[in-house]
Amino acid sequence: MEKQYPSALLEKAVGEFAKLPGIGRKTALRLVLHTLRRNDEEVERFAAAITTLKHEVKYCRVCHNISDTGICPICADERRDRTTVCVVENVQDVMAIENTQQFHGVYHVLGGIISPMDGIGPGDIEIDSLCRRVEEGGVEEVILALSSTMEGDTTNFYISRRLQAAGVKITAIARGISVGNELEYTDEVTLGRSIVNRVPFGT
């Protein structure tokens, strides 16, 4: 049965909050009512933060990580090992690996994985830019750090075939991560060990 709202404005706000991942209409209603109880300054600050983020956030032109500038802090850091590139699905995965403090190379954020069921093909994610980056030289190892899912494995295989002629070492994170698990939900110790104990791809 459709819930009746006392206000069309309330219903519209609940509808927008409910579009967020993991947020159902009950949780959305709680969030909206909580927002209504906050003072005007807090609500305006919240709204401004979201609007500013949407309009002003940038994507690193090297690795496609989220950044405030054209080059993200990781790519700009001269102490990072630029010969080793870790390929991840999204920004959350970069944050998860950085939290392990076990990886000192640089990243390449695909912005998704190949998923024919969802209509996502190789051309819809940042695989071509990865290939260009490797072809430009200086990269010795590419670590495939995608989730242990069918889509992740498909993407790993496709990338390995694309980079086959480049002559770079291609490795994958060790399977200490359970099959089917998303990288961002793996605990830091397990994830850190899987990076350190990475294996040649295909073995």
Query: What's the CATH number where 71 sits?
Result: 3.40.1360.10
> Mean per-residue pLDDT for 154-169?
94
51 and 79 share one domain: no
Report the predicted TM-score, pTM, of the whole model to 2 decimal places: 0.82
65 and 101 share one domain: yes
pLDDT 10s digits, 111-150: 999 999 999 999 999 999 999 999 999 999 999 999 888 9
* pLDDT recorded at residue 196: 73
18 and 118 share one domain: no
* pLDDT recorded at residue 199: 74
Domain that holds residue 27: 8-56
- Cα–Cα–Cα angle for 106, 179, 166, nearest 5°? 40
- How large a percentage of the chain has pLDDT more than 90? 77
Contact at 8 Å (CB) between 151 and 159?
no
Higher pLDDT, 1 or 136: 136
155 and 183 share one domain: yes
193 and 142 share one domain: yes
23 and 94 share one domain: no
Count CB atoms within 10 A of the CB of residue 18. Answer: 16
Any domain includes 3: no
140 and 193 share one domain: yes
